[in-house]
């Protein structure tokens, strides 16, 4: 099995970039970092997490000029069609907008006096962090813009 | 980089380059709680196998062969314009790109003519050039797959409506592939059954809703299915019969964040976007508290 991943540009069939695969140590470190970061994120109020996602969105949109030609070079996407940032922005905004409601506890009907019952989205989070713990996501046909 | 700029804690979102062996071991370790995968059906099966026994939950988006149905009462020009774009955008490399079209016999001839005419207007070229409206495919091997599907279909009796030589930049054995429109196709052909993920589409004539539904469902996939009609009730009624994740009426190749992004059969499992997307990524915990 190869120890690097190569990106061949479809423009000319030549290798554009080569990335070494991660070492076992790097993988272990990533898992440890993820668990630690998740603890901190879990303690962060939803309003702050929403704001952070919108800042991330703005930072991505600001990189438009860099990313669009990279998409052309890496996968042949014509620059005249941009980088699919409109859909990206629409999805981030929507998921942030519905976060409060979608992640609210579910309170069943028929709760009696003296009882408090609910289903909580434990470790509720934005669409970019995994409250289930650690999420492994593969890149899509247009890397990182297809969420 | 954008995550850092946003002040999101390092570790929350990390990018690792892994090969298949490493991914398999990682998934089998049980250290991952959830895995989202977009790729081939074979890739999805490998992921599921690798995670077997760990109870890692999976979100899978594996493939599509999205069918369009142009009904007798469709707005023809609107259908043609949207379906050409749906089939050819990004050189056909969209999960929900249009891969096969079923047209009512009363509109068939005009539809094929209009579809072919519009497809011929694409400018195949270097994607860095602003004039290019159709780039090379992402890799030469993807273009070779589509070339094979087209050639096999023609060998089995299909008609190829586009002379590739019209597209000066196309070159055999490269990623530069001219678009193609095929008629005289049927479901014994790979181009109508196996995902092309490229700038080619097969068009078949149908006699009505029943035949269209049967043919749309004759597929191992089910991601999206657009119906072109002016009767919303009919669209909903037909939609209920189609084995798919999203039913469209008069549009295609589109993700609405307010709606669940999902698929059936070999297309995958789970949900993205919408409130159902949040359910897929959270763990419910029940609290039952009693004062005494």
Residue, of A130 and A67, whose pLDDT is higher:
A67
Q: How confident is the model at residue A1 (pLDDT cuts 50, 70, 90)?
A: low
Smallest Cβ distance to B32: which of A5, A127, A136? Answer: A136
Cα–Cα dist B70/B90, whole Å = 23
For residue B289, is pLDDT > 70? yes
Q: For residue B205, give the nearest of B226, B186, B232, B178 by alpha carbon.
A: B186
- Give per-residue pLDDT as tens, B67-100: 999 999 999 999 999 999 999 999 999 999 999 9
Smallest Cβ distance to A69: which of B18, B128, B255? Answer: B128
Mean pLDDT of chain B: 96
Residue-level pLDDT at A130: 35
Backbone angles phi, psi at A39, to 5 degrees: -60, -45
Residue-level pLDDT at A141: 44
In order of A82, B12, B254, B273, the CA distances from A87 in angstroms are: 11, 23, 9, 12
Distance from CA of B107 to the nearest CA of A (A): 31
Q: Is there a catalytic annotation at residue B61?
A: yes
For the stretch B68-81, what's the b/e string if a residue is b when 16 or more beta carbons lie within 10 angstroms of its beta carbon?
bbbbeebeeeebbe
Q: Is there a catalytic annotation at residue B95?
A: yes
* Cβ–Cβ < 8 Å for B36, A138: yes
Q: For residue A38, give the nearest of B257, B31, B211 by alpha carbon.
A: B31
| ipTM reported for the complex, 2 dp | 0.92
* Structure tokens, B286: 């029940």
For residue A145, is pLDDT > 70? no
Least confident of B3-17, B120-134, B256-270: B3-17
What average pLDDT does the segment A37-55 reach? 92
Q: How confident is the model at residue A39 (pLDDT cuts 50, 70, 90)?
A: confident
A 10 A CB-CB count for B268 gives: 28
A 10 A CB-CB count for B252 gives: 25
Residues paired with B201 in a beta bridge: B181
* Cβ–Cβ < 8 Å for B39, A142: no
Catalytic residue among B35, B94, B95, B252: B95
- Give per-residue pLDDT as tens, A97-123: 999 999 999 999 998 999 999 999 875
Residue of A nearest to B275 (CA): A102
Kindly list the residues from chain A whose CB atom is less than 8 angstroms away from the CB atom of residue B91.
76
What average pLDDT does the segment B124-147 reach? 97
Cα–Cα dist B177/B169, whole Å = 8
Residue-level pLDDT at A136: 67
């Amino acid at each position: 099995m190869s120890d690097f991943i190569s990106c061949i540009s479809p423009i000319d069939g030549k290798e554009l970039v080569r990335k070494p695969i991660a070492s076992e140590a790097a993988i272990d470190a990533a898992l440890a970092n993820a668990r630690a970061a998740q603890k901190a994120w879990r303690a962060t109020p939803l309003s702050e997490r929403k704001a952070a996602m919108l800042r991330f969105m703005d930072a991505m949109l600001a990189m438009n000029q860099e990313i669009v030609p990279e998409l052309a070079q890496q996968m042949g996407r014509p620059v005249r069609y941009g980088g699919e940032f409109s859909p990206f922005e629409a999805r981030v905004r929507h998921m942030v907008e519905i976060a409060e409601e979608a992640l609210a506890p579910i309170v069943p009907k028929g709760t009696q006096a003296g009882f408090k019952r609910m289903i909580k989205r434990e470790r509720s989070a934005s669409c970019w962090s995994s409250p289930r713990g650690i999420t492994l996501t593969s890149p899509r046909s247009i890397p990182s813009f297809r969420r | 980089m954008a995550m850092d700029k946003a002040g999101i804690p390092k570790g929350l979102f990390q990018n690792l380059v892994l090969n298949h062996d490493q991914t398999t071991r990682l998934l089998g370790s049980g250290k991952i709680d959830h895995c989202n995968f977009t790729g081939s059906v074979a890739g999805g099966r490998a992921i599921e196998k690798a995670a077997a026994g760990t109870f890692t939950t999976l979100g899978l988006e594996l493939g599509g062969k999205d069918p369009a149905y142009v009904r007798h009462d469709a707005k023809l020009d609107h259908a043609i314009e949207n379906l050409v774009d749906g089939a050819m955008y990004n050189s056909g490399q969209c999960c929900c790109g249009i891969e096969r079209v079923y047209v009512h016999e009363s509109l068939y001839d005009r539809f094929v003519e209009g579809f072919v005419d519009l497809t011929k207007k694409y400018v195949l070229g270097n994607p860095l050039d602003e004039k290019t409206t159709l780039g090379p495919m992402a890799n030469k091997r993807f273009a070779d797959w589509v070339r094979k599907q087209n050639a096999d279909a023609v060998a089995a009796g299909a008609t190829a409506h586009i002379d590739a030589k019209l597209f000066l930049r196309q070159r055999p054995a490269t990623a530069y592939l001219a678009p193609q429109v095929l008629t005289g196709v049927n479901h014994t052909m790979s181009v109508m059954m196996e995902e092309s993920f490229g700038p080619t589409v097969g068009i078949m004539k149908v006699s009505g809703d029943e035949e269209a539904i049967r043919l749309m469902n004759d597929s191992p996939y089910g991601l999206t299915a657009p119906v072109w009609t002016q009767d919303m009730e009919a669209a909903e009624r037909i939609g209920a019969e189609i084995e798919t994740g999203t039913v469209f009426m008069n549009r295609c190749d589109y993700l609405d964040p307010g709606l669940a992004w999902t698929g059936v059969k070999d297309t995958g499992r789970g949900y993205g976007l919408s409130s159902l997307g949040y359910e897929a990524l959270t763990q419910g915990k029940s609290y039952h508290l009693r004062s005494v």
